[in-house]
Amino acid sequence: MTSKRPIGADAILNTVDRAAPRPDPSELYAALDLGTNSCRMLIAHPVGSEFQVLDSFSKSVQLGQGLESSGLLSNASMKRTIQALRICQQKLQRYKVRNMRLVATEACRRASNSEQFITAVHQQTGLRLEIIQPEEEARLAVISCAPLVSAKTRQLLVVDIGGGSTELVWIDLSEVPRRHRGRAIMRLHAGFKQSNKCTTSLAGLDIPAAKVVDWISVPLGVATLRDQFRDVRDDSARFALMSWFFEENLANFAPYKNDHAKEGFQVIGTSGTVTTVAASHLGLKRYDRAKVDGLRMTSEQIDKVIRTYLDLGPVGRRRDPRIGRDRQVLIMSGAAILQALLRCWPTDRLSVADRGLREGLLYAQMSAAGVLDEGTG
């Protein structure tokens, strides 16, 4: 089967022409995601029912390094992270952004000294970070992926593989009319607990809502899972142990015990792991988001890439330009999570999402402010 991208794959992230006039600061929105491994930020403005990105930032800060064993954010990790946040603060100041959400996730949720870190960030950069809970993290990742939802999808699994945790959300779209399925996903920004009916602003009709069957936040991500099995020296054995250990943590996720039909079933994966696997599958020597975001892959294609990683071994992976220097130490723990998921829910259509929490934060802010055209989608 040939890999392909859906028509709406570019719906959210369209980078604006830098020569174009800069929007008024009151029209700008920023979203910063400080995770266990990376610090990422987007600055954008609404255009119709989507948004255009004016500026972005991404850096590996390894905030959660050593957290698994000590329960603390280390001084070195906090120093690296604050240096990255200073750059973000400078960008926000340059654009005079007034509307923003700056959030921290699993590393700060788990660290016993996270409040001291949050205070230090504010004192040294002026930025006010908020630590969000797993449900909101999952919800924001889900709505960012709405443009990738196929009109044929009846059952949807969204997977966000982070550095410190992995969020899974199973959504039933079987009662939602095809043309409203993407928009029904977007409406989940109001919360997973909602009524079975909702009203579309354009059609003026009550239509069934997207139903969240179940969701789970597994406290294992690419960094924390790797740290748990750091003492296993054999590369293949470590990979197998990580994969089966992750699957054991899915036992409380309701769909884990239920069979499902492949027909009408779609998985959307959002993470550096999934995009790296996609880039490797395409043979890209230099990462190209336009080719990766929205790409559809089969379980067999993904498994082939993972086997290639295992055959390369640690030295070969470090030299592989498709994996990248920052990702090579984390790719096998991420691949172990991905393999476990596909073992549970094999699919002939996994959609690769180069989007996630930041995009969800932007959409939620803009939607709450009423500056997006809700459209008919």
* Residues 254-292 pLDDT 10s: 786 666 667 788 999 998 999 999 999 999 988 899 999
Closest to 176 in 3D by CA, of 212, 135, 136, 137: 212
Residue boundaries of the structural domains of the chain:
7-133, 136-357
Q: Which secondary structure element, helix H or strand E, spans residue 180, and what is its range?
A: none
Taking only the tens place, the pLDDT of each residue in 140-190 is: 999 999 889 998 999 999 999 999 999 999 999 999 988 888 888 888 877
53: pLDDT strictly greater than 80: yes
Mean pLDDT (whole number) for 130-142 = 93
Structural contact between residues 74 and 56, judged by C-beta atoms closer than 8 angstroms: no
Taking only the tens place, the pLDDT of each residue in 196-239 is: 445 444 345 667 888 999 999 999 999 999 999 999 999 999 99
Mean pLDDT over each residue of the chain, to the nearest integer: 87
Over pLDDT 90: what percentage of the chain? 66
Mean pLDDT (whole number) for 59-79 = 94
CA distance 215 to 139: 9
CATH of domain 136-357: 3.30.420.150
CA distance 63 to 36: 5
The pair of structure tokens assigned to 323 is 């994996």
Higher pLDDT, 306 or 2: 306
Instruction: List the beta bridge partners of residue 157.
Output: 170, 267
Closest to 125 in 3D by CA, of 100, 156, 150, 152: 100
84: pLDDT strictly greater than 50: yes
CA distance 122 to 116: 10
Alpha helices in 199-320 (DSSP H): 222-228, 235-248, 272-282, 289-292, 299-319
Closest to 276 in 3D by CA, of 203, 328, 219: 328
- The dihedral through the CA atoms of 186, 263, 13, 63 has a sign that is positive
* Least confident among 54-63, 98-107, 207-216, 241-250: 207-216
End-to-end CA distance of the chain: 28
Longest dimension (CA), the chain: 61
What superfamily does domain 7-133 belong to in CATH? ATPase, nucleotide binding domain (3.30.420.40)
Instruction: Quickly state the pLDDT bin for 193 (edges 50, 70, 90).
Output: confident
115: pLDDT strictly greater than 70: yes
Mean pLDDT (whole number) for 15-26 = 67
Mean pLDDT (whole number) for 335-340 = 95
- Dihedral, 360, 361, 367, 369 alpha carbons, nearest 10: -170
pTM for this predicted structure: 0.85
Q: What is the pLDDT of residue 98?
A: 95
